[in-house]
Structure 1
Amino acid sequence: MIGAVIGDIAGSVYEFSNKKPLLKNIISSECFFTDDSILSIAVADALIYMKKNGFKNSASIYRLYLLEYARKYKDAGYGKRFHAWFNSKNPQAYNSYGNGSAMRTGAVGYAFDTLEKTLSEAAEAASVTHNHPDGIAGAEAVAGSIFLARSGSSKETIKEFIEKEIGYPIKFNLKELHKNYKFEIACKNTVPQAVFAFLISDSFEDAIKKAVYIGGDTDTLACITGAIAEAFYKKIPKELIRQAEDKIGKTLFATVKEFQQLFDWEI
């Protein structure tokens, strides 16, 4: 869970930049949290509520918490359609296939005991806004990868899940991505690259560095990569966690901690 936040913060300053550095320091003084962290924590908070009160009408609960967090943190950098959604008097799903569904769904991957349930809940969390099949598939890809990673699956198994179950081919070259990859918002053009950054990494920190090195929508790419890498490596330097807490503040960090404790995931 905190891995998604760290990734978002690390990529924040490069999102609309042509710079694709190989980071020395994952979180610098210029970094900040974005909508990716806010909405990831919103989904986590919704899961906290349902863990305590029962997993019923989950789509309506995800919707409630996404609206609450977005309206509270209005200037976190949301896309135009999502911004219009949470400012509407009667918010309705808008058939999006954008990567916003994927980046916010990380917590779902930690919350359930089976892959089947994980995927169905990822679809519920996505569909309140991103009810296009590609938007739902992106969310399922991220949550499913996290479930497999935390359950002890190999990278090859995760790659096979992404390619065969989701339908995203993972056939990239890091140098070519660094040279040619541009800003993309579609799940199908963001999630595979984020998974690739994880697959070729050798640690949590290395995964984040490779995601930023690929470029594009760097906060979202690194947010997704960080969420999966945390689940797989199960180790994040305490200094990075402390830096992330400093960036998001005590209130949001407390929600992250409560989620990790409630769902038995401590780093």
Structure 2
Amino acid sequence: MKGAIIGDIIGSVYERSNIKTKDFPLFATDADFTDDTVCTVALAECILDWGDPSAYLRRWGRRYPDAGYGDRFSEWLWAEQPEPYESFGNGAAMRVSPCAWLAPTTQEARSLARAVTQVTHNHPEGMKGALAVTDVIRLAQRGIRPEVIRARVTERYRYDLTCSVDDIRPSYAFDVTCQGTVPPAIVCALEATGFEDAIRNAISIGGDSDTLAAITGSIAEAMFGVPDALWVEAEAYLPDDILAVLERFSDALTGRFAGGANR
């Protein structure tokens, strides 16, 4: 989850001002966390509490109403009787990483991903994006080689992962759909040489930069871990309530991995 948050903060300044290079300062002075972080933290707390995903997303979203939500999610956030709205937006995939980290098995991670996604993004492509990211994180946690992950995800989800980052970069444009965001985000992580390189890959292709980097970061964390120095910088952008959930999340992970559950 730290990887997703770092990617979100770094990408926040490039969402509407895309750059097509890997040479940029990681933490700009005007960077900030966005809806990617808020929704990810909401679902982490929800899972830790065994709560209702809809209630937690709405509580956190209303706490941070200016975090940059999409129009349809904003309407859902403030509706008196919120209902799923058949979305296939990339919000389904940006917030799902806690499911992959907190569940003891892959099947349970997928079940959690379905449960937290269907409250808004109940379109098949939205669900597919959330499940694909969950699976990639789980595979990366087990140390599965990138080429094997690429093959398994291609077979299960029928995403085209054949292009390289260099292939994607020249023509890639802003796209808020799962089908337009998840495959390139996966490629940016699988092709990387380390966590920072994965984030630079994601920012360099352009598009919906904060969400791309959040998804890529969530995968890269499972592949490489998060460098302490980057997390120290990211923490400075986060308020106490978010940091408190992250501390609970970290404690829960310590218990989970100490028990050896990672199937």
The answer to whether the superposition gives a TM-score over 0.5 is yes
Alignment check: 8 A CA contact 2:36 2:95 kept = yes
Alignment check: 8 A CA contact 1:36 1:100 kept = yes
Q: TM-score, normalised by structure 2?
A: 0.93
User: How far, CA to CA, are the matches of 2:48 and 2:108 in structure 1?
Assistant: 16
What corresponds to 2:122 in structure 1? Answer: 131
Please list, as runs of the form range in 1=range in 2, the aligned pairs for 1:180-259 lying within 5 A after superposition: 180-234=171-225, 236-259=226-249
**Unpaired runs of at least 5, structure 2:** 258-263
Over 6 Å off, 4+ runs: none
Alignment check: 8 A CA contact 1:211 1:221 kept = yes
Alignment check: 8 A CA contact 2:35 2:69 kept = yes
User: How far, CA to CA, are the matches of 2:10 and 2:103 in structure 1?
Assistant: 28
CA offsets 1:26-62 (integer angstroms, 9 cap, x no match): 2221211110000011111111112xxxxxxx6xx11
What corresponds to 1:15 in structure 2? Answer: 15
Whether 2:60 is the aligned partner of 1:78: answer no
Alignment check: 8 A CA contact 1:14 1:20 kept = no
CA offsets 1:52-95 (integer angstroms, 9 cap, x no match): xxxxxx6xx11111011001110000000000001100000000
Give the alignment partner of residue 250 of structure 2, picking from 256, 260, 266.
260
| One-letter amino acid of the counterpart of residue 172, structure 1 | C
SS in structure 2 at match of 1:9: helix
User: How far, CA to CA, are the matches of 1:101 and 1:157 in structure 2?
Assistant: 24
Alignment check: 8 A CA contact 2:8 2:214 kept = yes
SS in structure 2 at match of 1:253: helix
User: How far, CA to CA, are the matches of 1:146 and 1:19 in structure 2?
Assistant: 27
CA offsets 1:120-150 (integer angstroms, 9 cap, x no match): 2111111000000000000001111111111
User: How far, CA to CA, are the matches of 2:40 and 2:103 in structure 1?
Assistant: 16
Alignment check: 8 A CA contact 2:164 2:191 kept = no
Q: TM-score, normalised by structure 1?
A: 0.92
**Unpaired runs of at least 5, structure 1:** 51-57
Aligned-residue CA RMSD in angstroms? 1.5
What corresponds to 2:44 in structure 1? Answer: 44
What corresponds to 2:106 in structure 1? Answer: 115
User: How far, CA to CA, are the matches of 2:90 and 2:200 in structure 1?
Assistant: 20
SS in structure 2 at match of 1:7: helix
For residues 237 and 68 of structure 1, do their structure 2 counterparts lie closer, same or farther at Cα, with a shift above 3 Å needed? same
